[in-house]
Every structure is written in structure tokens, then in C-alpha cells.
Amino acid sequence: MQDLLDLESLSKQDIIGLLDLSQNMVEILDRPIKKVPTLRGKAIVNLFFEPSTRTRNSFELAAKYLSADVINVQKSGSSVEKGETLWDTARNLAEMAVDGVVVRHQVSGVPQQLADILDVPVINAGDGSHEHPTQGLLDALTITQAKGSLAGLKVAIIGDVLHSRVARSDIWVFLALGADVVVSGPPALLPQKYEEFGVEVTADLHRALTDADVIQVLRLQRERQSSKELPSLWEYHLRWGITSHSLSWAHPDAIVLHPGPQNRGVEIDSEIIESSRSRILPQVRNGVAVRMAVLFRLLGGGHDE
Amino acid sequence: MSSKDETGWLIKDVRVIDPFRNVDSIEDVCVDGDKIGSASERKDYVPVDGQGLWLVPRLIDMHVHFREPGFENKEDLQSGSRAAAAGGFTAVCTMPNTHPVIDIPSLIQWQQDQAKNMGLVHIFPIGAISKGQQGQELADLYQMTRAGAVGFSDDGHAVMDARLMRAALSYSTTLGRPIIQHAEDHELTAGGVMHEGSISQQMGLGGIPEEAESVMVWRDVELAGLTGGILHVAHVSAPGSLEALEYAKRRNLRVTAEVSPHHLLLTDAAIREWNFNPVTKVNPPLRTEGTRQLLIQAVRQGLIPVIASDHAPHHQDEKELPYDEAPFGISGLETFIGAIFSVFMVDGLISPLDLFRRVTVGPHKVLGIHYPGLTPGAPADFTLIDPQMRWVVDGKKFYSRGKNTPLQGTRLQGRSVATMVNGEWTMRDQEVLK
Ligand SMILES: [Zn+2]
């Protein structure tokens, strides 16, 4: 593994390796003194073209627990407005002699384009509607901790799956680990072609949730209303919101995940977030562990291959 | 080769493929001054060995973007004309989406004057349908026609306003020139950067459904029926559009269409292969294999009478942007012949005469331009093609300023080796002479 750009192209073996390593990192996080010297002397750039304090903080903490130096570069607006091409951006980073680049961008594919130019590892922290691989891994880790394994589980992903990079990474990792995946939401927001990959696609929430072991609730982007794809948020809540009523269709031991931040009362009710079903807080902790594992694997040197 | 001044050329033993006269045979072709001569007259000709080569008269690409005025960093009339000569074209139609837009007679005239001065390629300009291509008011189509415009298009944008489209089509009956629609419902394509399908959904890129094109083609076909107008559909890429064309044919409407080589050769799988490199970004987008086969079939059956490049050069910097932010377009003039050869000739899907009909007679008819074919007295405009030449595309070697081609590194068969315009060589052995 040279970069972490997506989960679609990762082998099952690579995924399991990263998850095992992440579990070790969870144990480091449980220690009173978390810092380990593994990446001392390494410099990592967090290159965020799209603001996201949560993900950036998570990567930054992960790097610092491994004793790496972190530089945060926040850029906004399109490349066209700034008059800068991706080639310029990449060359500037290379000149700074950094050891790894964590990149988030509002356009799908930018981490891939940067990785084609850069020699150092590139880690995708979310690109457009494409993928968010560390989120997929942390979701898989969270489910594994709760259920032992993903094999044979029914996992339902609910919401705007079409535009969700989280959903795309989730789907690949869940399928690789042997889960049955069903996606549900308003039909215009579902990737209908995913049936080709063995994913069940249905607008019928009842069908999607029936006997589900895991429910991943996606954040609803409010701009879907102005783009004419949705009626009111209340109507969305009525039909696809995760409430104690809809949750009753799922398996009695079903757990609920959400990549955050939540629109309470829209895609999920507060009482579910705060219930024993919720694994939302472990997700946050696992996020740091997964990012430590990824940084370690890509920048640790000598360990892999 | 020693050239004897003003004497003429004799292309010997060449396979003449002349769709204007419906001729495919080995002949000698002689050039006297700027015209085709008759070989029987004894004169001092410079001989050119045509053995193994094909000679096709008046190849015309009816859809190119030369970007001048306004976007000369992408292309200008000279670099575009040199690209046309290199690609084997003797004539092109330039699209009017420049800055300012070509929407007045003086700009139409200016382009033709420039072309005459350069002597590289005939330019038959396309004028805008609406003033400034704003889609609001009709431009002065009659005055532009008088100045030499051979058709009208708001290419780059569709005419969304059905009332304006109705007016343009009905006016076209008084001009004898087509209204060329870039068919796209902008509401349906908003946010889209590639074909909507399995691959766009995997890659998380915004999709452009085929129906965004075909709903507009159906509307326009109905308006052509309503008005009797002359409609030409640019760069067709959707099965529904083909059905609309068949319907128009059954009703004997004056409706024609063109297809671009990249839609005949490539599919949306190329976007995956290029791994988000926006060199594959084009509008309409590369479609699926199923659609590609339907387009090939439509060309073979004659439902699509024209192949045109939609040559859309861009500066390298613009193709190093994130996929969503990069401009649409492929630099297509210099790969045209190799591309259509590779699609149709290598497997013998169509006769050479029928293939080149779609780059000669087809577009001439659509545009109402007369060319008699290779008969004595006709302008000496033709191209020599080596049908066996195998070559690898390298955009860096293009004469066009636009190096943007998804065919980079692709092995093609068939290439133009010499181009003559008005009796003068504009290109020989891939070298443009002006
Ligand atoms: Zn167009």
C-alpha cells in the first residue's frame, strides 16, 4: 500500500490488516500516556480544501499520538478562482519535503490526481461524493467491536446515498467483509446501479430495516431541497427518519451509527442518538485509532511489504 | 521533391474515393493551378506516387472550436487551421462560442478573410442563433447568411427556450441553412460531469443522463415538424435521440445529425482508466458500450449522415484542475481519421465510400454547400490517406494548442499523409507547410 485513496480497490487482506492494527491503536488510546514515538521526525500536511474541523482534528490527534509533526493547510474556493492548478499545489508540497499528505476536497478524485503527481503517501480524508476511506474503516471497526464480525450481518445505509462519500466507502468495506448491504432513501438520492454490485436498493424503509443488524444513518445535506430532489425536511423525517418506531422493525440488538454531525429530528431522533443502541461516540474514538493505523501503515516504514 | 512553378501535380495510381461522384477506383488525379485538371492534356506535371494511398476530396469537419476571438490561449484561427491541415481537412465550420460571440455579419466575414490569407483550410463559419448566445433574442441570421454563414448554433449551450427555437427553425426555411442544436436540457445536466450510470455512481461524479439530450432532441424534432424548419442535431450521444431521428425520418422532416469520433471509439470506462484525469471530460459525455454500438449502427445505416470532431481545445493548465472544475472538451482534429478508421475500417463495418460520405457529401448537403467532386475545374481540395499506417497518438505533437486527448498513447490505424487546398499542399508527411 502506497496511498489510501479508496476502499473499493483494497483487498480483503489489506482491510483486515488495517482493522487489526486499528484495534491495537484503540488499546494505546486507553493508556494514560498515549504518545508513542513511532513517527517522530515525520511531517504530515493536512490539506483541507473543504472545512471540516472534526475530521481534521481526528487526523491531527492521530498524527500527534504517533509523535509526527502536523501542518494544517486550509484552502477554500475553487482552484479556478485561486488560479492554481493541482500540479502547482502538489509541487509546493513536495518542496516542503513533507512525508505524507492528508487531503480533503469537495471534488471527487482530487486525492487520486495528487497521488499521481506526488511521491509521498496521500491519504484521502474525503473527496466529493466519491469516498471517505477512513470513515469506512472506522465504521467497520465499530461494528466489529459490537458484533464480533461483519460476516452475515444485514447492514442498512439510510439517506442520501447517491451523494455520500461515507456510504460509498462503507459499501465496499462491508461487502468485502461479508455483510449483506441494503441502501434506502428517496429514489432520486439512491445509486440505482449499485444492484450490479450485489447491494439491495430500495426506497422502502420498512423493507430495508426489517431484521437489520446495523443501521448507518447518513447526514442529510440541506441543499438537496434547493436542488429540487426533496420535499420538506419534516416529510423526509416521516418517511426515512430513524425513530423509535422505525427502529422497532430492525433486529432487537441492532446498533445505530451516524458519521456526524447529526441533524437531530431530521434523519435521526435525539432519543436514538442518546439510547443504548447508538454507537456514535465509539465511532469518534475509533476514528482516531483508524487514522493512527493508516498513518502508521503508510509512513511507519519497513513494516509493510 | 523539386517543385516546378505553377505547372501542376499528377497523383498517380491512387485509390480515389470520391463520394461526390460515387466513385471508388484507381485513377490518376491531376492538378492545374488551383483546380482539378484533366490528365489527358500533355503538360509538365510533378508526379506523386499514389500507390497504396487513398485520395478523398473536400474532407470537411463541420464542428470545430477555434476559440478566436477571445480565448487564444486555447487555440486561434491559425493554430486551429494548422491542426485541421495536419488532420487532413480541407474545410471546417467554426462554432461561434467565442468572445465576443460570432453573431454579426462582420465577424463572419472576418473569419473567412483570415482563412483566405492563411490559405490553410476553407473556413465556413457558423453564426450564433441568438444574440450573444444568450438564448433571448434571434441574431440577424439573414445578414450573417449573406456574409457567408453556413449554419447557426448556440453551441456550448442549448437553446432552452422552445419559443425561440420555434422562431429560429421557422426562419431557417427562408435561409436554406440549418439550425444546429447542442441538445441538452440544462436543468437535467446541472452538476453533471460524466455519463450517468454505474461508473459515475461508483466514482461519485455528477451524472449526465442520456435523457438530458434526448428530451431536447424530441422537442426539437416536434418543432421541426411544426415549422418545416431545417434542424441539425450536433454530437448525438443517446439512444433516445436516435429514436427521435428515426421518427423524423419517417415523417420526412428536414432533420439531420452528426456524431463525434470519441463517442464512436470510447466509453465511460475510459474515465475510470484515466483515474479522474479530466482529459476524458467532454460534453456530451462518453457513454456506455451499448450506446456506442447503437451510434456505430446509426452511422452504418445512414441515420447519422455526418461525423464531426467537435474539436474543443483547452490549455494544459485547465486540464490539470479537479474533475468538476476542468472544462469540457477534446482536441479532436488530429486524431479524427485514425479514430474513424479504427472504428469502421479495421473491421470492415462500412465501405470506404460510405464512411467518407459522412465527412464529405453528408456535411455539404446539411449545410447547403456545393462541391462537384473530382471533376475538371473543381477546386483542388483533397487529402491523401495511408490506410495501413499504424501510429500512436501523442498530444504533445499536435499542431493544435489543445493537447487534451483521451487517446493519448492509443494505437490507431489510418492517417492523413498529405492535404491540398486550392492546389497548394498544406500538409505533407505530417508536416504542416504554412
Ligand atoms: Zn456542443
pLDDT in tens, A200-245: 999 999 999 999 999 999 999 887 777 788 888 999 999 999 999 9
- Domain-ending residue, one of B340, B367, B394: B367
Does residue B201 lie in a domain region?
Answer: yes
Does residue B288 lie in a domain region?
Answer: yes
CB B304 within 8 Å of CB B258 = yes
Residue B49, amino acid: D
Does residue B4 lie in a domain region?
Answer: no
Chain B residues in contact with A191 by the CB 8 A cut-off are 201
pLDDT at A303: 47
Q: How far is CA B219 from the centre of its chain?
A: 24
User: pLDDT tens across B340-387, in order?
Assistant: 999 999 889 999 999 999 999 999 999 999 999 999 999 999 999 999
Does residue B363 lie in a domain region?
Answer: yes
User: How far is residue B88 from each of residues A288, B323, B357, measured CA to CA in Å?
Assistant: 60, 31, 15
Query: Which stretches in chain B have pLDDT values below 50?
Result: 1-4
pLDDT at A93: 81
Q: Buried b vs exposed e over B226-240: b needs ≥16 C-beta within 10 Å?
A: ebebbbbbbbbbbbb
Same domain, B211 and B278: yes
Residues with CB under 5 A from ligand 1 (ion): B 155, 182
Chain A residues in contact with B203 by the CB 8 A cut-off are 108-109, 130
CATH number at residue B77: 3.20.20.140
Say if residue A1's pLDDT is above 90.
Answer: no
User: Read out DSSP for A222-252?
Assistant: THHHHTTS---HHHHHHHH-B-HHHHTTS-T
Q: CB-CB: which of A108, A113, A196 is closest to B205?
A: A108
Instruction: Give the whole-angstrom CA distance, residue B9 versus residue A69.
Output: 73
Which among B289, B406, B253, B432 is positioned nearest to B339, based on CA atoms? B406
Q: Return residues 240-299 of A near B (CB < 8 Å).
A: none
Contact A108/B324, CB-based, under 8 Å?
yes
Query: Looking at CA atoms only, how far is residue B261 from chain A in angstroms?
Result: 26
Does residue B41 lie in a domain region?
Answer: yes
Q: How far is CA B401 from the centre of its chain?
A: 17
Q: Return residues 54-93 of A near B (CB < 8 Å).
A: 78-80, 85-87
User: pLDDT tens across A151-160, in order?
Assistant: 999 999 999 9
Q: Would an 8 Å CB–CB cutoff place A196 in contact with chain B? A: yes
Q: How far is CA B235 from the centre of its chain?
A: 9
Domains of chain A: 12-130+284-301 (3.40.50.1370), 133-283 (3.40.50.1370)
Say if residue A302's pLDDT is above 70.
Answer: no
Cα dihedral across residues B150, B151, B155, B157: positive or negative: positive
Same domain, B296 and B238: yes
Which among B236, B256, B260 is positioned nearest to B309, based on CA atoms? B260
- Domain-ending residue, one of B367, B401, B418: B367
Contact A80/B321, CB-based, under 8 Å?
yes
Same domain, B287 and B338: yes
Does residue B2 lie in a domain region?
Answer: no
Please enumerate in sequence order all residues whose Cβ is within 8 A of that of B282, keeping only pairs 6 or more positions apart, or say none: B262, B310, B312, B328, B329, B330, B406
Element (H, E) at A157: strand A154-158
Maximum distance among all Cα pairs of chain A, rounded to whole angstroms: 56
Q: Would an 8 Å CB–CB cutoff place A110 in contact with chain B? A: yes
Same domain, B394 and B335: no
Chain A residues in contact with B279 by the CB 8 A cut-off are none
For residue B272, the chain A residue with the least C-alpha distance is: A109
Same domain, B62 and B31: no
Q: A5 vs B4, which has greater pLDDT?
A: A5
Chain A residues in contact with B204 by the CB 8 A cut-off are 108, 127-131, 163, 165, 168
Chain B residues in contact with A79 by the CB 8 A cut-off are 321-322, 325
Which among A209, A169, A166 is positioned nearest to A185, based on CA atoms? A209
Does residue B433 lie in a domain region?
Answer: no
Q: CB-CB: which of B198, B205, B321 is closest to A86?
A: B321
The structural domain count of chain B equals 2
Contact B322/A86, CB-based, under 8 Å?
yes
- Chosen for mutation from A9, A75, A80, A223 (greatest number of chain B CBs closer than 10 Å) is A80
Q: CB-CB: which of A116, A165, A196 is closest to B204?
A: A165
Distance B210 CA to ligand 1 centre (A): 15
Distance B311 CA to ligand 1 centre (A): 10
Element (H, E) at B295: helix B289-301
Same domain, B254 and B296: yes
Distance B28 CA to ligand 1 centre (A): 39
- Chosen for mutation from B73, B185, B202, B315 (greatest number of chain A CBs closer than 10 Å) is B202
Contact B322/A113, CB-based, under 8 Å?
yes
User: pLDDT tens across A43-93, in order?
Assistant: 999 999 988 889 999 999 999 999 999 999 888 766 656 777 777 887 888
Distance A247 CA to ligand 1 centre (A): 50
Instruction: Give the whole-angstrom CA distance, residue B101 versus residue A72.
Output: 44
Which among B187, B204, B189 is positioned nearest to A162, based on CA atoms? B204
Same domain, B390 and B245: no
Distance B90 CA to ligand 1 centre (A): 22
Query: Looking at CA atoms only, how far is residue B323 from chain A in angstroms?
Result: 7
Distance B283 CA to ligand 1 centre (A): 7
pLDDT at B4: 43
User: pLDDT tens across B420-433, in order?
Assistant: 999 999 999 999 99
CATH number at residue B20: 2.30.40.10
A298: phi then psi, degrees, rounded to nearest 5: -85, -30
Q: Would an 8 Å CB–CB cutoff place A4 in contact with chain B? A: no
- Chosen for mutation from A5, A6, A7, A85 (greatest number of chain B CBs closer than 10 Å) is A85
For residue B322, the chain A residue with the least C-alpha distance is: A110
Q: State percent of chain A over pLDDT 70.
A: 97
Say if residue A269's pLDDT is above 90.
Answer: yes
Same domain, B68 and B187: yes
Query: Looking at CA atoms only, how far is residue A112 from chain B in angstroms?
Result: 7
C-alpha triplet A192, A198, A200: angle, nearest 5°? 55
Same domain, B14 and B161: no
Same domain, B336 and B231: yes
Contact B204/A105, CB-based, under 8 Å?
no
Angle between helix A110-117 and A86-95 (nearest 10): 50
For residue A171, the chain B residue with the least C-alpha distance is: B202
Mean pLDDT for all residues in chain B: 96
Same domain, B306 and B413: no
User: pLDDT tens across A123-182, in order?
Assistant: 999 999 999 999 999 999 999 999 999 999 999 999 999 999 999 999 999 999 999 999
pLDDT at B318: 83
Active-site residues of B, by number, are 310
> How many other CB atoms sit within 10 Å of the CB of residue B372?
15
- Domain-ending residue, one of B367, B388, B411: B367
At A304, the pLDDT band (50, 70, 90 cuts) reads: very low
Instruction: Give the whole-angstrom CA distance, residue B130 versus residue B132.
Output: 6
User: pLDDT tens across B132-155, in order?
Assistant: 999 999 999 999 999 999 999 999
- Chosen for mutation from B203, B211, B315 (greatest number of chain A CBs closer than 10 Å) is B203
Chain B residues in contact with A115 by the CB 8 A cut-off are none
Same domain, B169 and B45: no
Say what the ipTM of the complex is: 0.91
Does residue B234 lie in a domain region?
Answer: yes
pLDDT at A81: 66
Distance B421 CA to ligand 1 centre (A): 27
Domain that holds residue B421: 9-55+378-428
For residue B274, the chain A residue with the least C-alpha distance is: A113
Which among B133, B134, B130 is positioned nearest to B166, based on CA atoms? B130
